[in-house]
Structure 1
């Protein structure tokens, strides 16, 4: 049972840096990542790019301890949030996931639950208590930060499942923000959305980066160039485990990459 906590105001600029050091991962005997090291700076967007099957989503799930939900999964290395190893035996899984939230590829609001209750769902899971007035303010704050408040403020008691796909994705972002994460992980959050909804999500990502460290997996090179400040190119060649070919400033990665494989990928010549 998670200990009950009282919701308190948190500064809007509360992001923390996330670091992976020599992370390797397996599913059973199959090695899918090999010694991946990456720094994801606070208050920046880090994009993970690369062909399908190179371990980007696996790496993303390792960053908030979802990898260990798979019975055959194992890993080596460290993931540190502000210098603290989130896999240390003294760190509870629920605490790690509260600090490092996740938004999935397919929007997953609770369809029969109201928009209002969807935003607050994470508080129940973490045992966080808050009086009604604070809850009301939190719902407005999180929906505003997710770019959804003006669209839904007059129908907060309607089901979250009645929203459009793009609105549902922003609702999921608002739900993640309600537990005050330091980091927000996004696994291809726009892949199922139309161009208008994609643009709104990208605007939301840019605004959120002022307060939350963001790591996003995307196959859209234009999107990676638009929203991120840092970029890491993953690759798995000829059956070898996924690894990082190159990582650095997004402008350099797209404009003057060091490795020719990076240049070929970002320019659409393979993958």
Structure 2
């Protein structure tokens, strides 16, 4: 007689937000250096916005924060990224640990188009090796779609393809999918750049609602968006062929209201970039 084993269920509640600290992070693509000794604290439970002109290394820095940079051929980096005080690049640290705790939402919505809305949300469970029964999955789908501000819009069509949703809904579906594995940090690379103003506003509302539950780091070229959604802000700049770096960082109200560097003042005022 065999005894049935119970599969481990998904966590019952969201994890607490975690802090991230980048220390002297430099990055290269081959021999081309794109970041120079970037140091930045991203406090737990807050939204940190990364702003600056195109080509100054913001998205590269974001990918370094959950070990995506190393997947690019000839990519190299130096420095440390501390998740709750522990370096995610330390020997013996598994890539899957970083990805489970530090989620990512990309610039272009990328749901699995032929997969249903429901299956899109729970897809991350399979990728991270978490098995859950049907009731646990049902609860998780409702919870994550609600946290992403999408439940009321799709609850009657969960079995329809995710690719049939509007662009803004697809982006919120991707947020729900990222939340399903209980990340403590959520990275967002220009999540609203391809969206209309109404969808942008809804995604911004979602970011603000999530901030107390998960640490958010967002790259944006929209200065008004950075001012609306973030509590901390870092201004990146690469000048005259030099690698990108942080000119100034601090509370968003200071960066926009009383910047210490003239280059910051000129950028947030729209005089370049």
Give me the TM-score of the superposition, normalised by structure 2: 0.97
- Between the aligned partners of 1:246 and 1:8, the Cα distance in structure 2 is 38
Out of 188, 203, 217, the residue aligned to residue 215 of structure 1 is 217
Q: Cα RMSD over matched residues?
A: 0.9
Tell me which stretches of 4 or more aligned residues in structure 1 moved more than 2 Å: none
- Between the aligned partners of 1:125 and 1:78, the Cα distance in structure 2 is 26
Equivalent position of 2:232 in the other structure: 230
- Between the aligned partners of 1:220 and 1:261, the Cα distance in structure 2 is 17
- Secondary structure of the residue aligned to 1:36 is strand
- Superposed, 1:79-118 pairs within 5 Å as 79-118=81-120
Unaligned runs of 5+ in 2: 1-6
- Secondary structure of the residue aligned to 1:171 is helix
- Between the aligned partners of 2:203 and 2:93, the Cα distance in structure 1 is 32
Asked if the contact 1:13/1:210 (under 8 Å) is kept, the reply is no
- Secondary structure of the residue aligned to 1:90 is coil
- Between the aligned partners of 2:28 and 2:110, the Cα distance in structure 1 is 27
- Superposed, 1:149-168 pairs within 5 Å as 149-168=151-170
Asked if the contact 1:17/1:40 (under 8 Å) is kept, the reply is yes
For each residue in 1:220-244, what CA deviation from the matched residue of structure 2 results, as whole angstroms up to 9, or x when unmatched? Answer: 0000000000000000000000000
What is the CA distance between 1:133 and its match in structure 2?
0.3
What is the CA distance between 1:8 and its match in structure 2?
2.1
Unaligned runs of 5+ in 1: none
- Superposed, 1:50-129 pairs within 5 Å as 50-129=52-131
Q: 1:171 to 1:58 in 2, by over 3 A?
A: same
Give me the TM-score of the superposition, normalised by structure 1: 0.97
Q: 1:136 to 1:19 in 2, by over 3 A?
A: same
Out of 4, 9, 16, the residue aligned to residue 6 of structure 1 is 9
What is the CA distance between 1:219 and its match in structure 2?
0.1
Deviates more, 1:89-98 or 1:18-27: 89-98
What is the CA distance between 1:5 and its match in structure 2?
5.2
Equivalent position of 1:249 in the other structure: 251
- Between the aligned partners of 1:126 and 1:6, the Cα distance in structure 2 is 12
- Secondary structure of the residue aligned to 2:248 is strand
- Superposed, 1:25-36 pairs within 5 Å as 25-36=27-38
Equivalent position of 1:188 in the other structure: 190
- Between the aligned partners of 1:185 and 1:141, the Cα distance in structure 2 is 20
- Secondary structure of the residue aligned to 2:243 is coil
- Between the aligned partners of 2:251 and 2:94, the Cα distance in structure 1 is 33
Asked if the contact 2:125/2:181 (under 8 Å) is kept, the reply is yes
What is the CA distance between 1:13 and its match in structure 2?
6.0
For each residue in 1:159-198, what CA deviation from the matched residue of structure 2 results, as whole angstroms up to 9, or x when unmatched? Answer: 0000000000000000000000000000000000000000
Asked if the contact 1:5/1:127 (under 8 Å) is kept, the reply is no
- Between the aligned partners of 1:96 and 1:20, the Cα distance in structure 2 is 14
- Secondary structure of the residue aligned to 1:24 is strand
